[in-house]
Structure 1
Amino acid sequence: MKRFAMLLLLISALLLAACGGGEEAPADTSAPTTAAETTTQDQPAATPTESAAVVTTNTPAAEAATSTPAAATADVAVPDGADAPPAQLGKLDNLTSYRARTFYQSEGTRDDGTPVQDSVSVESAYVSDDGVDKRFMSMQLNSLDNEDAAAFGGFEFYQIGQDMYMFTGEEMGWIRISDDQSPFQDPSTQFLLDSSVVFSNLNDLKRERPDEEIAGIVSSHYTFDQSAMLDFLNAGQGNLTADGEVWIAQDGDYVTKYIVNVNVDSGGAGQLDPSLSSGTLQLGFELTEANEDITIDLPEDAISGTNLVGFGDAPLPVPEGATVAASTAQFAVIQTDLPVEEAQQFYDDALQALGWTKDESGSMSFGDMVSLSYSKDNVKLTVLIQVDASTGITGVMLNAEESQ
């Protein structure tokens, strides 16, 4: 989980990292149309916003991490022939909507003797709205051995179609990222949304009675040990044991609830925490609503907070087919297949058409790198254009500074 904390912190480094990588499918670079249809209450941009229809419980992470996610369950009759576990797990995204809770906590020491005391609590929601996938996630993070992660605290994450927005704290504010830059594409975080990552050896699940209803979903009950999680725990690399319980929907084969307890003697805990030398970890998940009337709307602050200052309501100029890798009110990172010279011409033309004045003395060229300086009203705009020699992709980095 330490990797996970650092991954979230590295979002702020996208300005440097976004110019790398392989070929990417172009993202929709226009302003999201779905956001214009949402209705949210005005809230200060300096504080995390919450969709009016997506209500999260602001439970302190430490408290959430010490108890199983709570939702009403009910024993149900067991149908004949329902003992065998499913051949593979289904996806929660096959539901039309859901809400879920996840918690994680760890205690112990690292290889260098550093004490570990981490906790994470997550509230998530999903809905398919007229064919558009919408997601919301709120995370609270505490870490004893990582001061930066502890100061980071938490974040909010929205996905509306291909548009992704994160509130990363008061200092950074809102940031818009492309779908390929999402932190949830990283293998160390996939288990938060995909329980099939946790349970790779379903034949090692042991059937238990009675079955239960989790969030109204009739679910088969199983127990397990570390053999059901060999891939997730990187079996053979660490000296550990694990046990727990899991409930799987009888219709759809997706996980509705699980509780995992891990004891590490040496060698780490796989994807949960590869650097934990010894200690204990607990991971839990529970579906709290399924196929209910859930609405996820992007806060207005997310849109205004990711438009570069100086552009007003005008969209940021983006070459055709380019990808907006990241944007905030202060900077934007764009990737394009255009050569440096053509990218420079595009921004010279586009910015001057929008009323920006070029500072010729402040603009310069260094071979495959161009720096352009523009101003408008009280805003200074710097446009840095450079090709990545390893990929051939041209990166455009815009930085806007507003004078007082």
Structure 2
Amino acid sequence: MTIDLQSPSVTTRQRAQNTDYRHVPADSQVRTPTPVWWQTCALRDPLIDRALALPFAGNSAPNVKTRERGLIKLLDWLEDQPGSNWQQRWLASGAEELGVDWKQIPMQWLVARDRARNYDPIDLVCGMIPLLGGQVIRPNYRWLLRLSPSHLLSQFRRVNDAEGFAALEAHCEATARHGVHDRAQALNRITWIMIRKGGLIRDITIGDCVELQDAIGEHQRNGQHGKHLYYALLAETGVFGAGAPTRLKAVMLPGQRSPAELIDRHQIACLPIRDLLVDYLTDRTVDVDYVTLEDMTRSLGLLFWKDLEQHHPGISSLRLNTQTAAAWKERVSVVPARGNQPPRPRVNVHIVFNTVRAFYQDLARWAADDPARWSRWVAPCPIRDNDTPPTSRPVAGARPTWISAPALCCRCCPP
């Protein structure tokens, strides 16, 4: 069975056709995997010498012997497949389509030649370390994302752009991203791209990240599709160049206005607050639909902050004194006169209050997880319990999707 290296799966292709990634710069589109590269065209003996000489972890004599034995078994099997290079033989073998069960095909080949041993599964997995680390083959995302042994990915990082990965680790430390699981997941996603596309970290494009997210959504069901730390690390370390979107969610809004475009409708004067609102709304896009996002933008950008700027020119802090907060709540509770229509009470003012309350609470909670990014914005919430009727406050199991926390004052609020 031959698999077309250039063609994505039907689901991914259909999703790409239905999605308008308007914010992917023209020079940052998806890289098409090249069908031929020098490692996959290497002759067998030089390939073995080079692959086994790579500085993998665990280079004890038994480990090296197991890797060598497994690599030889894999190359023997691949040599028996049609194709003029190792990648073509890998694709022709059909093993890629089996995902985690890929070992069944080379094991069947070994059985048919009376070479089977009870330790073949371990040998084959260990033999895949130099095969991937040496960039001899480049499996597709369907295979990579269903691959269980994460040590294959960590071994790849040891021998491919180790300096680049070390720089990303250092950036995590410098930006107080200490979560071991999140960091490992981010590095694994970058590793997937490099295994699939080749090259170094600096060669990764925004389009590559978008393509990976499509693949994760299609092939993984572990609830981790919305984790975009890997993109943030690449953007913050300059991989995408100046002017690139700072958040992957902003890139992936399909055919709709980005949070930045929605906020900029309201011409907010304070640039730091404008950027904060863009970042906040961008992070919330994973939880809300587009209509709700527009409502949140109007509540926070127009009815809350723009109103404050109009009545307090030069304001630049979310920390509002009692008089400022009370005056704003009084103003926003009334729809101004328009034409022949007199002023009237704003019937949905509780939605505005709840949106502002959730904004302050989210900042307080997120600051605990990512203080470098959010802690400077933590401030007492101007909304109190008596500002909204009890029936409008979100309760467990019945709160609107756009409210991310219970309608209680956050712990940073004064009593």
TM-score by length of structure 2 reads 0.25
Which one has the bigger helix percentage?
2
* Structure having the higher Rg: 2
TM-score by length of structure 1 reads 0.26
